[in-house]
Amino acid sequence: MTDTRYELVTVRIREIKEEKAVGEPFCTFFSKAASFLVMLDDVYKKAAAGEIRTLGLNALKDLNTALYEDILGENYERSYTNPGYFAELVREAGYDTLLAQYLCFLYTEMRALIPYAFEADEDILTLYMELFVEIYCCFVFAYEQKKGEVPESSEIRQCLYWFERDNCEIVVSRRVREQLDPSCSFATDIIRKCDLTDLKYLYYYGEYITETEIRLAGFLNSLPDEDVLSMARTYTQGYILGFEKTGKDISKKKTVNIRYPVGFERMIRFAIEMFEEAGLKPVIYRAATLSINKRGQSRTGYYGAIPNRQYDYDHREDAAVYLDNDYVNRKLGVLRAAYEDNRELAATHGGPAVVEDFGESPFLPEKNKEAAAFSDKQRRLMVKYEEKSGILTNEFIPGKERSFTIIAFPKPCIGKDFEEIFRETVKLNTLDYVRYENMQQIIIDVLDKASFIRIAGKNGNVTEMIVALNELKDPEHETNFENCVADVNIPVGEVFTTPRLTGTAGVLHVPQVYLNGLKYIDLKLEFSAGVIVHYSCRNFDDEALNKKYIEDNLLEHHKTLPLGEFAIGTNTTAYRMARDYGIEKLLPILIGEKTGPHFAVGDTCYSYEEDIITYNPDGKAIVARSNDYADLRKTDPERAYFHCHTDITIPYDEIEGIYAIAMDGSQTAIIENGLFVLDGLSELNAPLV
C-alpha cells in the first residue's frame, strides 16, 4: 500500500515542479520545493537500491552540496526557507505574510527529510510529501475557484496543525524506538562495516559534510592505533566508572547511547568494541531533524556540519506553527505509549556516552522578525512538555539507575594549530586525577568549614555574589562538595556543590561569554534567595530583544531559574592551553567550566539522583544534593525540575577573590587576584603565571 502511495505522490510532485497553476511568489516557491523533493526521490531510490555506496567521491560531494546548497552562506538570504526574504515577497504581492511563515515551515520540514532519503525510509517520506501536495492543492483550489486568490493563512495552519497532531504517533514513536533499540543500526553499520580509510563513508549518512569533517576523519586515520585506542579507553572507562562511583549496577544494563560528531568514527569503532566487552550494545541515533522531535537548536545524537547557523536560529521555534495544549497532551500520551511499548529496552538502557567537538567560531544571531516564535502561552506549554516528558523518561529509564560520560575534542576549524591543540586536549583528558583529587581535597576541607562563599570580580567583571552552603550536621562524615575527577565529566578539575538557595544573592557578571555556541555580551544575572530576579545583556540595541534572547536561550523559556550549582574549577592546565592558543572563546562548557569558578543555572548536578548517597574519596558522604525545588520531587514533581543546566564560568584573571566565610564572619581566601592561595596548591598556579 505504501509503495503505491509513494509512487503516486512522487509522480504528482514531478508534475508540480513544472506547473504554473498558482500566482507568484507561490508558483516559484512550489516549483523550487518540488524540485528539491524530486532530488530527494532520486536519493531515496539510489539508497533503496544500494547505489549510494557505488558512487565516486566527487559524485557524493556534488550530491551533498546540491542537497544543502539552498541554505549555504549568502544563498540563504534569497532562500524560500528564509522567513524574512519570503515574507517580503509575499508582502509586496499584497498577501498575508503568515502564509510565508507557514510555507517556510513546510519547506524546512521537507529539508528535514534528507536523512530519511539516505535511510530509505519510505513511510516518513510518503507522509511528508503528501503534506506538501495537500498544501499545494489548497493554493491551486483558491487560485482557480477564487479567481487568482490565495487560501487564508488560517486554512494553511490548520492543515499543518492536523498533520503534526495526527502523525505524532508515528514520528514520535519511531524516535523513541531508535533511541533505545540497538537493532536500529544505520549509523552503527557505517562505523563497523565501512572502510574508514576511504572517506567516501562520510557522505553515506546524509549529513552536511565540509572540509572540517574530512580533515578530522583523515587526521584520526593518521594516528597510530594505540593513540586512538587510548582516546576510546578514556571515554569508555569514564562511563563505566560513573556507575561504579555512584554504586549503580551496570550489569543490569544492556545498551549505551553513543553520541558523536561525524568524523570521529575511528575512535567510535574502538569504543563500540570496548562497550561490548563490558556487555553493552551501542544505540546510535541521529540528531532530530523534523520539528516534532527537535528541541530548539540543540543536537542530541550524531550530527554532521551545520549548514547555516542563522537558518538554524530562524527555525528554532518552528513548533509555534502548531503548538497548543491539545497537541502537547497528545504528544505526551504518545510518548508514554511509546515507552510502554519499549519498556524492557528502556529498563536496560544505561544512558549516554557523549563525544563533543569544539573549534567553531561562536555565533551571534541576527533577529528575523518574520520567523515563527512562541507566544507566552506557548512558552509555558513548552515548559509543561519538558517537565512532563522528563518525568516520563525518568519513570522508564530511572536516573538512579543510569549514568553518562562526556568528553570533548577540537575539530580542524579551530585553526592552523589544530593538530597541536588536539594532542594537548588528549593530554588534558588523561591528566593524573590522583594529584588533582588531593589538591581539591585541600579546597574542600576549607569550604566545609564555611557557611557562605563570596565571589568578587575584577578587570571589568563586576560580579559580587554570596553563595550559601548547606549546614553539615556531621562534619566528620559529611561534605558539601564533590571532589570531581575524570569519570563522567572529562577532563578532571573541579569541586562543586548544590547551593542553599536562601541566603544566595548578588550579581553574576561576565563581560563576554559563549554558551552552547551563542555569544553573550555583558551578561548580568541578579540573584535573590537563590533565583534569578533580573537579567540583561548587550547583544542588541533593543533591551526587549536582549531579554528575549536570554529567556529563549539561557532560561529556556522559564520565567526564572535557580542557582543549581557553584563550583571552583582547578584545571589551570586547560586555562593555559586556551590562552596559549587563543581559543578561550572556543572551548566547550565541558572544558571551560574547569578553568575558573562557575555557576550553573537550572537543575542541580544530582537531578533525579538526590536519594542516591555518593561519597568522596575520603569516605565522606556528599549531602548537598538537593535544593528547595528538587525537594518537591515526591510531592510536586512537575515543579521539581527545569530540565536544563547551563554553566557560566568566570576566568581566573577576572577574579578578585573567592572567600570561605564562617558563621562568625571570619573568612579564608581560596583565590586572590586570580591565584590559589591555600597551602599545597602552588602546582595549580604554575600555568597561571
Sign of CA pseudo-dihedral 165, 166, 169, 171: negative
- For residue 343, the SS3 value is helix
Distance between CA atoms of 99 and 136, rounded to whole angstroms? 12
Instruction: Evaluate whether 618 touches 629 at the Cβ level (below 8 Å).
Output: no
Distances (CA, A) of 32 to 29, 237, 238, 358: 5, 49, 48, 35
Instruction: Evaluate whether 495 touches 440 at the Cβ level (below 8 Å).
Output: yes
Block residue for cell numbers 506549554: 381
Q: What cell numbers appear for 25 in the block?
A: 511568489
- For residue 659, the SS3 value is strand
> Which residue in 390, 369, 417 sits closest to 602, CA to CA?
390
Tally of CB atoms within 10 A around 602: 22
Tally of CB atoms within 10 A around 339: 19
Sign of CA pseudo-dihedral 565, 570, 574, 575: positive
Question: Counting beta carbons within 10 angstroms of the beta carbon of residue 105, is it exposed (0 to 12), middle (13 to 18) or buried (19 or more)?
Answer: buried
Phi-psi region of 98 (alpha: psi -120 to 50; beta: other; left: phi over 0): alpha
Residue type, position 77, single letter? E
Distance between CA atoms of 461 and 457, rounded to whole angstroms? 5
pLDDT at residue 486, rounded to an integer: 66
The arithmetic mean of pLDDT across residues 19-47, rounded, is 97
For the chain, percent of residues with pLDDT exceeding 70:
99
Instruction: For 543, list phi and psi in degrees, rounded to 5.
Output: -60, -35
Distance between CA atoms of 33 and 133, rounded to whole angstroms? 11
Block residue for cell numbers 586555562: 575
Helix (H) or strand (E) holding 665: none
> Which residue in 77, 83, 119 sits closest to 99, CA to CA?
83
Residue type, position 18, single letter? E
Q: DSSP class of residue 596?
A: S
Q: What cell numbers appear for 235 in the block?
A: 571515554
Tally of CB atoms within 10 A around 198: 10
Instruction: For 260, list phi and psi in degrees, rounded to 5.
Output: -160, 155
pLDDT in tens, 203-236: 999 999 999 999 999 999 999 999 999 999 999 9
What is the domain partition of the chain in residue ranges?
Answer: 2-151, 186-196+207-401, 431-688
pLDDT in tens, 151-171: 999 999 999 999 999 999 999
Instruction: Evaluate whether 150 touches 142 at the Cβ level (below 8 Å).
Output: yes
Distance between CA atoms of 371 and 297, rounded to whole angstroms? 14
Range scoring the smallest mean pLDDT among 190-204, 206-220, 393-407: 393-407
For the chain, percent of residues with pLDDT exceeding 90:
88
> Which residue in 341, 402, 305, 296 sits closest to 169, CA to CA?
341
The whole-chain average pLDDT of the chain stands at 95
Distance between CA atoms of 30 and 412, rounded to whole angstroms? 38
CA 613 to chain CA centroid, Å, is 28
pLDDT in tens, 56-85: 999 999 999 999 999 999 999 999 999 999
> Which residue in 216, 96, 82, 221 sits closest to 151, CA to CA?
96
pLDDT at residue 434, rounded to an integer: 87
pLDDT at residue 1, rounded to an integer: 45
Residues 6+ apart with CB under 8 A from 13: 34, 37, 38, 41, 129, 132, 133
Q: How many residues does this entry show for the chain? A: 689
List helix spans (H) across 508-593.
543-553, 572-581, 589-592
Residue type, position 491, single letter? P
My answer on whether omega of the bond before 182 falls inside 30° of 0, hence cis, is no
Instruction: Evaluate whether 353 touches 405 at the Cβ level (below 8 Å).
Output: yes
String of b and e for 510-546 (b: at least 16 CB within 10 Å)? bbebbbebbbbebbbbbbeebbbeebebebbeeeeeb
pLDDT in tens, 470-527: 999 999 999 999 998 767 789 989 999 999 999 999 999 999 998 887 889 999 999 9
Q: What cell numbers appear for 609 in the block?
A: 539522583
Greater pLDDT, 533 or 246: 533
Distance between CA atoms of 626 and 620, rounded to whole angstroms? 17
The arithmetic mean of pLDDT across residues 110-115, rounded, is 98
List helix spans (H) across 98-146.
98-111, 114-118, 122-145
The arithmetic mean of pLDDT across residues 137-146, rounded, is 91
Query: What confidence category does residue 433 fall into, taking pLDDT thresholds of 50, 70 and 90?
Result: confident
Distance between CA atoms of 15 and 23, rounded to whole angstroms? 16
pLDDT at 464 over 90: yes
Instruction: Evaluate whether 176 touches 335 at the Cβ level (below 8 Å).
Output: yes
Query: What confidence category does residue 148 fall into, taking pLDDT thresholds of 50, 70 and 90?
Result: confident
Query: What confidence category does residue 2 fall into, taking pLDDT thresholds of 50, 70 and 90?
Result: low
Helix axes 98-111, 153-180, angle to 10 degrees: 30
Distance between CA atoms of 675 and 320, rounded to whole angstroms? 48
pLDDT at residue 269, rounded to an integer: 98
pLDDT at residue 529, rounded to an integer: 97
pLDDT in tens, 263-295: 999 999 999 999 999 999 999 999 999 999 998
Distance between CA atoms of 416 and 410, rounded to whole angstroms? 12
The arithmetic mean of pLDDT across residues 610-638, rounded, is 92
> Which residue in 630, 608, 623 sits closest to 562, CA to CA?
630
Residues 6+ apart with CB under 8 A from 129: 6, 9, 10, 13, 37, 110, 113
pLDDT in tens, 291-318: 999 988 889 999 999 999 999 999 999 9
End-to-end CA distance of the chain: 71
My answer on whether omega of the bond before 151 falls inside 30° of 0, hence cis, is no
pLDDT at 149 over 50: yes
Block residue for cell numbers 594516528: 223
The arithmetic mean of pLDDT across residues 84-104, rounded, is 97
